[in-house]
Amino acid sequence: MVKPNSSSSVQYCGSLSVARTDMVSQAKGSAYVELRKTKVVCSVFDPREIPHQNEFRQLGQLYCEVKFAPFSCPRKRRPYVPDVEEKALSVALRQALEPAVCRHFFPDYQIDVLIYILEHDGSCLAAAINAAGLALANAAVPMFDIITSCSVAVIGHQMFIDPPEIEEHIAKNSTEVNPGIITMSVLSQLKQISDFTQIGSMDVECVTKVMEVLLKECEIIVPNIQRVLVVDVVKNFELKKHLEAETKKREEILKKKMDEWRSLLNGQ
């Protein structure tokens, strides 16, 4: 069931429980995503010149930064200084987004994509990619397709879609057959995989099965992301109509005042 409201929010049954746009007023585009209990905010800013760049680049760049809130992780408090995990997530996010963005439209410029993880309960990379794709679309950044992402944890012969943090911890430290985690980003309309991240050792048959599951899950997310964007467009269109009506009303009031002043000046 889809329940859009005035804040451009969509809630439905599934792992991606909440998706919302226009969350950060200072950003060109922003999005808030809840993937089960993982909560992520993404901000996208206008293109700017690449700092300390002497050579011309035909393709624009994406500057991606992932930051955990100090209180976000259940096992430990995150430091303010970026650590290894945050840097690795930032690189993975950039690699996933670059094939989806039309970077040839802004040569020699870069777009900043900032991710802030409010609560981490697993599948943070998938949540970050979904939030970033939604925020880029909200910022009207040219894209080839909507990017969606999903992750699967494999423990023994069982697969867990968008696993929570405890299942990820077990998958990383399991001694079962084919333990590990796979996160995949997909451009569904183009039938292309933009990024594939694997943690752990799995055989070819297991990876193939997981990829089939991930493709289906990513396709399930697409219509819900589209609904969020449609609600956002409708809301902006209604706001534009309201502003135009308000502007017309103010112009009519100003015109009446001007006529009164002219009549007073002519009477003198």
Question: Would you say residue 177 lies in a domain?
Answer: yes
Tally of domains in the chain: 1
Give residue for tokens 């309309």.
Answer: 189
Tell me whether residue 4 is in a domain.
no
Share the mean pLDDT of the chain: 83
The model's pLDDT over 154-210, given as tens digits with 9 standing for 90+, comes to 887 888 888 888 888 888 887 777 788 889 999 988 888 888 988 888 888 888 888
Distances (CA, A) of 47 to 14, 113, 141, 257: 34, 10, 9, 43
Is the pTM for the entire model greater than 0.75? yes
Range of the domain at 129: 10-221
In a domain, residue 209? The reply is yes
Distance in angstroms (rounded) separating the CA atoms of residues 245 and 239: 10
Contact 159, 172 (CB under 8 A): no
Residue keyed to tokens 């309201």: 242
pLDDT number for residue 114: 92
| Assigned domain for 257 exists | no
Answer for the pair 129, 15: CB distance below 8 angstroms, yes or no: no
Domain-embedded: residue 3: no
Strands 61-68 and 109-119 turn out to be parallel
* Mean of pLDDT values over 93-106: 90
Nearest to 30 by CA among 132, 144, 145: 132
18 lies in some domain: yes
pLDDT single digits (tens) 206-256: 888 888 889 888 888 888 888 888 888 888 888 888 888 889 889 888 888
Decide if 203 is inside a domain. Answer: yes
Q: Between the CA atoms of 114, 120, 123 and 129, what dihedral angle is there, to the nearest 10 degrees?
A: -10
pLDDT at 267 exceeding the cut of 80:
no
Look at residue 22 and tell me if it is in a domain: yes
Between CA 11 and CA 5 the distance in angstroms is 10
CATH for 118 = 3.30.230.70
